[in-house]
Structure 1
């Protein structure tokens, strides 16, 4: 059985606002309530972990700087006040679709429904250990439905995914093992 929380899930003091002080998404409605009700402001401030985020939220700023935790993807320090997402990644994510939306066109879909279902089927088949194995001289190759190529070298070393190996290293391996080139041609990689 779960432990009861120390704070009530819905604070009865804020029923008339029809909004509870939640810190996961900070919006304009919460800012207006904070300006009108000091108790709501204090309760929300207690739930927001970063004081710089809360100060930027009250000032109406779209972003704030968080030096303690850079973005994993781009290394930036600027965060969105609303949801703590990386501001640079957020701007770059929708740039191409933004122009289409301004023109009144629907954003481009990156993958069709049939393509998505095909990908799920291939992943399921790979999970069920479906693959084609083929010998090329001293090496053995397994080709999986998702396109992953597993190579077993003569010394017994297994490369689980050749796509993760640098191109320079693959060229070096092809010079050492010419049969690897035949395997890549067979798999449609060369």
Structure 2
């Protein structure tokens, strides 16, 4: 092996190391893929779909309706933010009230229709409950099967939120925005 070949190999190793370091840094701190596990977000997100998550939480604020990834004790969860810090949340007859005002949830229309056809309530009544300071209240879109802030997961802080779901990227036939 001559000197030029050694230099070229050294250059390739350096470039590859820098590239891998950048990829690791971007995935760790900025963007990451996640796999949806379960039916709690049906029909918005489906089991085994892969979503792209924006982890730039220090820049963005979280808004009502955002789909987020939350760090749990043993696993991560995909849920929708319903209540912001200080909000008073109440569910009555499948209608969500936030601070006493009816809040429309168009992403539930398909599920509400199915529940009505089955003669059942889609979301059990609860509240009013007040979301504590610096906490968020989340629910899945498939309220009949979702474990969320209502029934076991409780409230979450901003530090518990990994990031926002941006779009579904797999399966390729189903690429779509999740905002």
User: TM-score range, shorter-chain basis?
Assistant: under 0.3
Which protein, 1 or 2, shows the higher relative CO under an 8 Å CA cutoff with sep ≥ 6? Answer: 2
Report the structure number with the largest CA radius of gyration: 1
Normalised by the length of structure 2, the TM-score is: 0.18
**Higher strand residue share:** 2
Normalised by the length of structure 1, the TM-score is: 0.17
